Amino acid sequence: MAPMIDPALFDQLKAKIEEDATVRKELDQIVDELNQHVSFTQGILSRIHSTPRSKYPSLAPQITQGISSTKATISKLSAYASNYPYYKYNHKWTRTLQDAITALLLSSWLGFPSSPSPSSDAVVSEPGNLLTPEQVGSIFAVPINLKDRDSFHLTTEEYLLALVNVVDELSRLAMNSVTLGDTSIAVQIAGFIKDLHAGFQVLNLKNDILRKRVDSIKYAVKKAEDIVYDLSLRNLIPASAKAAEGESAAQ
Amino acid sequence: MSGFKRDFNGNAKKREDRPKPPPKQVAKNQYTPMFEALRDELDEHHDRRERIIKASRDITGLSKKIIFALQRVRKIEPNLPEKIQSEINTRLDDISKLLITIAPEIQGLNRYRYARSLMCLEELVEALTFAHYLKTQTLITPQQLVPIMQELAVRQAAAEDQVMTDVNDSTPAAPTPKPAPLTVDLTEDDYLFGVFDLTGEMMRFATTSTALTGTMTMATGSSSSSEKDEQPRTIVEDMHELGSLLEMLPPSGSRIQWEKKLDVTRQSVRKVERLGYDRTIRGSERPKGWIPDLADQQQPDDE
C-alpha cells in the first residue's frame, strides 16, 4: 500500500519554503540599505523648510548624492528582485520606493539636479518641473508599469502615492517659505497643488489605500489657499506671482 | 450572472458598453493628460481585479460543494460512488469554465498581483486533495496537481470550441492554430494551505464514517485488502503523519496565518485520535449508527 505521504514531499516543501525565506532575508537587507539612502535624502530635503531659496545651492550636492546612492541601491534591488515573481515580494519595498520617488519628485520640482552635472555642481534651476512616471523610471533606470514580463518596475500606484506625499510636503513648504520671507514660491506652490488636485480628480478611485491618501490632498489645497489668502489680504504677493496666481485662481 | 438594468422604456440595457463614469468636470491643465493616462492604467487594474474576484467567489462556492459531496462518501476506495462522482464532474466543469475566463488575466506578472483575490485556489486544492485522499488514501503532491490543473484548463475549452464552430460553420473550418491553453498555476501557499484545510475535512470524514459504518479502519480495508499480511492503515495514522509533516515544516507566508492553521490541524488530529481510542476500547459495544458525542467526555456507556 502506498504510504500516506510521498517520502520526498517533506524535503521538497521544506526546500521551497527555505528558499522563500532566504529571498525574503536578502530583500530585507537590500531594502534596509535603500531605506538608509532614502532617509538621508529626505532628511537633507527637509532642510528646505528652514533654508531660504537663495541658499538652496548649498543643499544641492548632498541631495544629488542621496539620489544617486538611492538609484544605485534601486538597481541592486531591481537586479535581485527580478529573479522572482514581482508581486510576491513587492510589499517589502513598495513603501520605501514610494519615499524614494517622493524625494526625487520633490527635489526635481524645487530645481535640484538629480545627477551631478559635469559643468557646475551648484545648479539649482527654477522650480516647477514635475517629473512624469516615465522620467522617474529613466532617472532610477528601471522600467515603469510593466505588463508583458514579470520583472522589477515602478507601479502606477507607487508614483501616485509618492505624488500625494509631494503635495503634502509642498503645502508645508508654502507655509515655511512665507515665514522665511519668500512669498512668491508660496503662491507658486498653491497653483501647483491646485492643478494636481484637479489631476487627481480625473482618477476613478476604488476604496483602497490610494483613495484614502488622495482624499488628504484637499487639506493641502486648503492650507495653500489660506496662505495665499493671508498674503493677498496684506498685499504681500509679489507682482510677478500675482499675474500667475490670478490666472490659476480664476474659477 | 447578476441582474441587468433597464432603460426608461423597459428595454434591457447592454452591460457590455458599461459607460465609464461620466468625465468629471474638472479644469484642464498641463497635468491632465498624464493623469488621464494613469487613470486608464488604474481602471484596467480595477476592472481586472473585479472580474477575478467574481470568478473566484464562484469557484470557492463550487469547491465547497464538491467537498460537501465528498463528505457523503463513506469509505475509501479507488472509485467514488457514481452519483457523487457525477456531481463532482459537473462542478468541475463549471470550475473549468470559470478558470478559463480568468486564466489569461492571471499569467506571469499578474499571478501574484491578484494572489489575494484568488483564495478560491486554496479551496480548490482542498477539494482536489480530499478527493484524491478518498480514492487513494494518500496525500496528493504538488506535481500530481499539475496535470489536474492542466486538465481543468482544457476541459471546457473544447466544449466552447464546439459552440464556436457551430455558430459560424459557414466558414470552412480553417485549421486555426490553437494557442496552448493557459493553465492557472498553483503557488506553494495555495498547496500548503489547501493541505491544512484537508486535515479538517479528514477529521469530519473520520467522524461521520466511523459513526455510520461502525469501523475505524474504513481506510481501504474492504476493497483492496488483497495483501492480507498487511494491516490496512487507519485514518488515525494518516492524520498523525499529516500532522507531523505540517508541524515539521518551517512556516511559510504569514506566520500568524500559519500558526492559526496549524492550531486547527492539531485539534483535528486530537479529535481523530479520540475517535480511534473510542473505537478500540468500546467499539464493539456500540451499535452501528451510534454517534459518539465528542464534546462530552463523561459519556456513560450505552448499555
Tens of pLDDT along B169-200? 444 444 455 566 788 889 999 999 999 999 99
Q: How confident is the model at residue B162 (pLDDT cuts 50, 70, 90)?
A: low
Contact assignment for A20 to B188 by CB distance below 8 Å: yes
> From A90, which residue of chain B is nearest by alpha-carbon distance?
B113
Question: Who contacts B241 (Cβ-Cβ below 8 Å, separation ≥6)?
Answer: A3, A4, A5
Length, in residues, of chain A: 251
Distance separating alpha carbons of residues A26 and A34, to the nearest angstrom:
13
The grid coordinates listed for B146 are 499539475
Q: What pLDDT does B96 receive?
A: 94
Tell how far CA A206 is from the center of its chain: 21
> From B238, which residue of chain A is nearest by alpha-carbon distance?
A4
From chain A residues 184-213, the ones with a CB under 8 A of any chain B CB are: 195-196, 198-206, 210
On whether any CB of chain B is under 8 Å from the CB of A147, the answer is yes
Q: What pLDDT does B241 receive?
A: 93
pLDDT surpasses 60 at B140: yes
Length, in residues, of chain B: 303
pLDDT surpasses 50 at A121: no
pLDDT surpasses 50 at B21: yes
Contact assignment for A88 to B249 by CB distance below 8 Å: no
Rounded to a whole number of angstroms, the distance from the CA of B236 to the nearest CA of chain A is 11
Residues in chain A within 8 Å Cβ distance of B228: none
The grid coordinates listed for B152 are 481543468
Distances (CA, A) of B5 to B2, B8, B15, B43, B48: 10, 10, 8, 22, 22
Q: What pLDDT does B224 receive?
A: 44
Rounded to a whole number of angstroms, the distance from the CA of A184 to the nearest CA of chain B is 20
B248-263: average pLDDT:
90
- Segment A13-72, tens digit of pLDDT: 999 999 999 999 999 999 999 999 999 999 999 999 999 999 999 999 999 999 999 999
Distances (CA, A) of A151 to A91, B22, B50: 14, 35, 24
Q: How far is it between the farthest Cα atoms of chain B?
A: 88
B224-252: average pLDDT:
79
Rounded to 5 degrees, what angle do the CA atoms B34, B38, B40 make? 120
> From B34, which residue of chain A is nearest by alpha-carbon distance?
A132
Question: Who contacts A76 (Cβ-Cβ below 8 Å, separation ≥6)?
Answer: A30, A33
Rounded to a whole number of angstroms, the distance from the CA of A58 to the nearest CA of chain B is 30
pLDDT surpasses 80 at A12: yes
Q: How confident is the model at residue A231 (pLDDT cuts 50, 70, 90)?
A: very high
Q: Which range (A87-101, A164-178, A207-221, B203-217) has the least confidence?
A: B203-217
Rounded to 5 degrees, what angle do the CA atoms A238, A244, A247 make? 135
Distances (CA, A) of B155 to B56, B79, B92, B148: 18, 20, 9, 10
Mean pLDDT (chain B, rounded): 81
pLDDT surpasses 60 at B300: no
Residue of B24, B112, B138 lying closest to A2 (CB–CB): B138
On whether any CB of chain B is under 8 Å from the CB of A91, the answer is no
Rounded to a whole number of angstroms, the distance from the CA of B25 to the nearest CA of chain A is 9
What is the per-residue DSSP string for B115-177?
Answer: GGG-THHHHHHHHHHHHHHHHHSSPPPHHHHHHHHHHHHHHHHHHHHHHHHHHTTTS------
Contact assignment for B242 to A21 by CB distance below 8 Å: no
Question: Who contacts B82 (Cβ-Cβ below 8 Å, separation ≥6)?
Answer: none
Q: What pLDDT does A98 receive?
A: 97
Q: How confident is the model at residue B159 (pLDDT cuts 50, 70, 90)?
A: low
On whether any CB of chain A is under 8 Å from the CB of B158, the answer is no
From chain A residues 155-174, the ones with a CB under 8 A of any chain B CB are: 156-157, 159-160
Contact assignment for A87 to B20 by CB distance below 8 Å: no
Question: Who contacts A163 (Cβ-Cβ below 8 Å, separation ≥6)?
Answer: A102, A105, A196
Q: Using an 8 Å Cβ cutoff, are B74 and B212 in contact?
A: yes
Q: How confident is the model at residue B168 (pLDDT cuts 50, 70, 90)?
A: very low
Closest Cα to residue A173, out of A234, A220, A115, A118? A220
Residue of A21, A150, A203 lying closest to B38 (CB–CB): A203
Q: What pLDDT does B167 receive?
A: 43
Residues in chain B within 8 Å Cβ distance of A146: 109
Alpha helices in chain B (DSSP H): 32-70, 82-102, 109-113, 120-136, 142-167, 188-213, 235-248, 255-282
Q: What pLDDT does A102 receive?
A: 97
DSSP state of B6: B
pLDDT surpasses 60 at A209: yes
Rounded to a whole number of angstroms, the distance from the CA of B20 to the nearest CA of chain A is 9
The grid coordinates listed for A31 are 531594502
Which residue carries 478518498 as its cell? B134
pLDDT surpasses 60 at B297: no
Rounded to a whole number of angstroms, the distance from the CA of A23 to the nearest CA of chain B is 12
> From A82, which residue of chain B is nearest by alpha-carbon distance?
B109
> From B192, which residue of chain A is nearest by alpha-carbon distance?
A13
Q: Using an 8 Å Cβ cutoff, are B44 and B110 in contact?
A: no
Q: Give the Cβ contact number of residue A99 at 10 Å.
A: 21
Q: Using an 8 Å Cβ cutoff, are A179 and A237 in contact?
A: no
- Segment B63-87, tens digit of pLDDT: 999 999 999 988 888 889 999 999 9
Q: CB under 8 Å, gap of 24 or more: what pairs does B83-88 form?
A: B88/B131
Contact assignment for A21 to B250 by CB distance below 8 Å: yes
Q: How confident is the model at residue B20 (pLDDT cuts 50, 70, 90)?
A: low
Q: Using an 8 Å Cβ cutoff, are A103 and A38 in contact?
A: yes
Q: What pLDDT does A114 receive?
A: 79
Q: Which domains does chain A have, with CATH numbers?
A: 10-145 (1.20.58.190), 155-251 (1.20.58.200)
pLDDT surpasses 70 at B255: yes
Whether CATH 3.40.50.720 fits B32-160+183-281: no
Selected for mutation to probe chain A from B28, B32, B38 (highest A CB count within 10 Å) is B38
Indicate if the alpha-carbon torsion angle B95, B96, B101, B103 is positive or negative.
positive
Q: What pLDDT does B181 receive?
A: 74
The grid coordinates listed for A127 are 522650480
Residues in chain A within 8 Å Cβ distance of B230: 1
Q: Using an 8 Å Cβ cutoff, are A143 and A74 in contact?
A: no
Closest Cα to residue A220, out of A179, A246, A178, A191? A191
Contact assignment for A13 to B192 by CB distance below 8 Å: yes
Counting residues of chain A whose pLDDT is more than 70, the rounded percentage is 91
Rounded to 5 degrees, what angle do the CA atoms A42, A47, A52 make? 140
- Chains A and B form CB pairs within 8 A to the count of 124
A245-251: average pLDDT:
49
Contact assignment for A204 to B42 by CB distance below 8 Å: yes
Contact assignment for B138 to A5 by CB distance below 8 Å: yes
Q: How confident is the model at residue A236 (pLDDT cuts 50, 70, 90)?
A: confident
